[in-house]
Amino acid sequence: MNNSVMYQYIVDSDEESPENLYDEYQKHADVSLQKKYQLFSQKSITLAIVMGVCADENEFKNIFIRNNIEDFMELLEDNINYWQMRTKPFNITTPNSSLNMMTNGFLLYQVQASRLFGRCGYYQAGGAYGFRDQLQDSLAMLYIDPFFTRSMLIEFAGHQYIGGDVQHWWHTPYRGVRTKIRDDMLFMPYVMCRYIEFTGDYSILSQKAPYLKSMEIPKDHDDYYHEATPSDVEETLLEHSMRAINCAYSLGQNGLPLMHGGDWNDGMNKVGIKGEGESVWLGIFLYDVLNKMADLLRTMKKRRTGRGIQ
């Protein structure tokens, strides 16, 4: 691809038609841009460099048909307003101006743009969804958009196997990896309890989602990468959460949870792979989840369901 074709089209609008530009982009997913300008003394120039993702070819053409710098400044202003709207509801005032600046906008922008929408964290460069990763990040959304957290809980419940374990990560719709990691599934009851504590919305417990079906992890493998499919078995999120707890509740000889394929610290994935290693961290997390669920069940007057975890 001509290194300057996209840049020249934006600035000069006479190098390529939108159709040709779109066709070239389809062939080349990367591009380097270079264009020379001569500036005289006391003169200035304003350039627009546009990067983004379009839903389809028509949207692409509608954006790049613009050749007026004011048009692009309007797009920039719209983008700024969008993110101000997404971060403004949460605001703190402290004597520390740096803390105010970081908290009022920057952190919520980062968790949404990088973690939830882009999914481009340091260990998540492939853009996949992580069961643990995105659920824990969705907690930040409780302060500005709790419905987002609710929707994610329902969607992620559909990535749980009937045995209680979950896909560690996946690309949509269901191509991902089944592992022996034992903290992932606990983030569903944990985030669900936090969501209900924050919103008082108990109706989420009766929302239903299907389980995934696939073969078990082969005995000589630590994980299994595959294209899973939804099963015909569907249960409420409360039942999904109970299956998650029962799956994780497996104690070793010291009374601590067995970590099997790992806990929150992915780097320790070999400690319990033979079925003996235990995790102090997982014990702390499981204890917190059990207490939250027990409180939730008592509130719902479901003591019979909660008897096994009291």
On the question of pLDDT at 140 being above 80, the answer is: yes
Question: Residue 306: what pLDDT?
Answer: 47
Question: Residue 26: what pLDDT?
Answer: 57
Nearest to 247 by CA among 230, 260, 235: 260
On the question of pLDDT at 251 being above 90, the answer is: yes
Cα–Cα distance between 169 and 132 in angstroms, integer? 8
Percentage of the chain modeled with pLDDT above 90: 53
Mean pLDDT on 90-97: 91
Cβ atoms of residues 174 and 156 within 8 Å: no
CA 221 to chain centre: 27
Which residues lie closer than 8 Å to 248 by C-beta, 6 or more apart? Answer: 164, 182, 183, 185, 186, 257, 282, 286
**Distances in whole angstroms, Cα of residue 218 to Cα of each of 182, 212, 214, 249, 250:** 17, 17, 11, 22, 20
Mean pLDDT on 268-286: 91
Cα–Cα distance between 156 and 134 in angstroms, integer? 9
Question: Dihedral, CA atoms, 100, 103, 106, 109, nearest 10 degrees?
Answer: -150
On the question of pLDDT at 255 being above 60, the answer is: yes
Higher pLDDT, 211 or 123: 211
> Among the ranges 11-20, 55-64, 87-96, 123-132, which has the highest mean pLDDT value?
87-96
On the question of pLDDT at 291 being above 60, the answer is: yes
Cα–Cα distance between 135 and 159 in angstroms, integer? 12
Mean pLDDT on 21-26: 56
Mean pLDDT on 246-258: 94
CATH 1.50.10.10 applies to domain 132-309: yes
On the question of pLDDT at 164 being above 80, the answer is: yes
144 is written with which tokens?
């500005």
Collect contacts of 82-89 with beta carbons under 8 A, ≥24 apart: 83/109, 83/113, 86/112, 86/144, 86/145, 87/112, 87/144, 89/143, 89/144
Question: Residue 13: what pLDDT?
Answer: 40
On the question of pLDDT at 137 being above 70, the answer is: yes
Question: Residue 125: what pLDDT?
Answer: 59
Report the b/e string of 47-56 with b at 16+ CB within 10 A.
ebeeeeeeee
86 is written with which tokens?
């997404």
Question: Residue 14: what pLDDT?
Answer: 44
16 is written with which tokens?
């390529």
- What one-character-per-residue DSSP string does 146-198 give? HHHHHHHHHHHHTTBBTTS-BEEEEETTTEEEEE-BSSGGGHHHHHHHHHHHH
- Give the model confidence (pLDDT) of 202-249 as tens digits: 999 999 999 999 888 998 899 999 999 999 999 999 999 999 999 999
On the question of pLDDT at 151 being above 80, the answer is: yes
189 is written with which tokens?
């009851």
Given the DSSP bridges, would you call strands 175-179 and 229-236 parallel, antiparallel or unpaired? unpaired
At residue 124 the predicted structure's pLDDT band, cuts being 50, 70 and 90, is low
Per-domain residue ranges of the chain: 5-86, 132-309
State the DSSP H helix or E strand holding residue 232, giving kind and residue range, or none if neither.
strand 229-236
Query: Considering the entire predicted model, what is its pTM?
Result: 0.79
How far does the chain reach from its first CA to its final CA, in angstroms? 64
Higher pLDDT, 28 or 186: 186
Question: Dihedral, CA atoms, 34, 38, 39, 41, nearest 10 degrees?
Answer: 150
